[in-house]
Amino acid sequence: MCIRDSFRNPGADESKKLDAEFKEVASELKAKDLVFMLVDINSEWGTRIADHFVIEDSNLPVFEITKTDDDGIAHRFRHTGKLNKQEMKQFIENWRQGKAERFYKSEPEPDSNDGPVYKVVGSNFQKLVIDNDDDVLLYYHAPWCKRCKTVVKTFEKLADSLSEFKKLKFMEVDGHKNDLKEYDAQDYPEVKMYRGK
């Protein structure tokens, strides 16, 4: 999948060249294991795709392979660096050989984590949850989950009422905006206990 912003430089030769090279790669490497999509983020469909994959304008253009496993978990592989026909073909070849590194999305880390419930993001998950000496009760939620809005209030009250237990930390993560290397939530809302070291 190649996602780009046609309004960033409308009609520019660079955008036209990238589109043409992507279409050439799609034509040359057509196979049962890949479906090629060229997405304009400014179209209605493109906006939905970008929202689903949590792709910001500042990251464009994006060249990515997404593979869903048997459990329905999406594994994403994102090309970084120069984007041209040769680089796209090499990235696909690396992915087929198992050499492409999995991409994990992450919100920016919060400046502060005050209050009874800490915010976890993809990039600080290992440090705050896995490597923590204390026990961690982690609440997974998603912005589109209606049940999450009521469960979060109960979770916050529980964290507040058990705040005297210093060896138990309450944390929350937006599973839609963050990928976690150690765990993929199967449903939302979900609460999981991680034992301290």
DSSP for 57-122 reads GGG-SEEEEEEE-TTS-EEEEEE-S--SHHHHHHHHHHHHTT-SPPB---PPPPS---SSEEE--G
Residues in the chain: 197
Mean residue pLDDT across the chain: 84
pLDDT in tens, 53-111: 777 776 778 888 888 888 777 788 988 778 889 999 999 999 999 999 988 888 889 98
Are 173 and 142 within 8 A, CB to CB? no
Q: Report how far residue 172's alpha carbon sits from residue 137's, in angstroms, rounded to the nearest whole number.
A: 8
Cβ atoms of residues 18 and 2 within 8 Å: yes
β-strand pairing of 2-4 with 135-141 = unpaired
Most confident of 11-25, 67-81, 121-135: 121-135
The SS3 call for residue 75 is strand
Phi, psi of 151, rounded to the nearest 5 degrees: -65, -35
pTM of the full predicted structure?
A: 0.71
CB 170 within 8 A of CB 120: no
CA atoms within 13 A on the CB side of 167: 4
- Amino acid residing at 155: F
Phi, psi of 20 (to 5 degrees): -65, -45
- Could you give the maximum distance between any two Cα atoms of the chain, in Å? 62
- Model confidence at 13, in pLDDT bands (50, 70, 90)? low
Cis omega (within 30 of 0) on the bond before 10? no
Q: Which amino acid is at 71?
A: D
